Amino acid sequence: MWEQVDTLLERAPEGASLDLHRVELLEARRRRNAGEPVGDALLAEEREAGMRELALQPLLARVRELVDGPLVLMKGAEIARDYPGPRLRRYCDVDLLAGDPEAAQAALLAAGFVEVFPPEWFVDIHHLRPLWWPGLPLTIELHTHPHWPAGAPAPDPAELITRRCRVASGLAGYRRCTPPRTRSRSPPTTGRTPRSGGSGA
């Protein structure tokens, strides 16, 4: 599959298209493997991805120490685990589906995490106000339910956590809702389809 991704990237427009579809780190890898100049912008993206990856495990361990109940890793940081190497999928926050998100938020605030961004942005949406541990390049988003397409029946969060998620290997105390692999995921696209709404997963 990843050879097909490289083929798509060879034909992809420069600049915004790579960022729009979150394939800029894959493009840096492709250029390096092909002996092409990576470029300053992609090198900067790689440095930022490296910083976030270094912060991820300690951050997850700290959250797990402080929060009771099940936690499911979702979206960017979870998807990145299926890429062919480290630092190949950009994410700016860590999305967690919690059994009791309000209690988890309170526990993290009591331990020194700080709420960030205007509170009015997070009224009646799928996650609580983001949390930041000062000094780290990632925020935490505790989800009350998955962000689901409008009009489609959404799964019950409790059932999702207890029946459809499995223990995540290499992440003590966390679960993943990705089913066991029977076939490869479709490669990311590099066309000009607009990005759907949401935060920086």
**Structure confidence at residue 12 (pLDDT):** 74
Same domain, 101 and 6: no
Looking at the structure of the chain, the number of domains it has is 2
| Residues 6+ away with beta carbon under 8 Å from 155 | 146, 148, 164
Is 44 inside a domain boundary?
no
Average pLDDT per 10 consecutive residues for the chain, totaling 201 residues: 82 73 88 92 94 94 95 90 88 93 98 96 94 96 90 85 75 75 46 42 61
Same domain, 30 and 99: no
Same domain, 72 and 161: yes
Structural domain containing residue 14:
1-38
Same domain, 33 and 127: no
**Structure confidence at residue 198 (pLDDT):** 46
Q: What is the rounded radius of gyration, in angstroms, for the C-alpha atoms of the chain?
A: 18
**Structure confidence at residue 191 (pLDDT):** 42
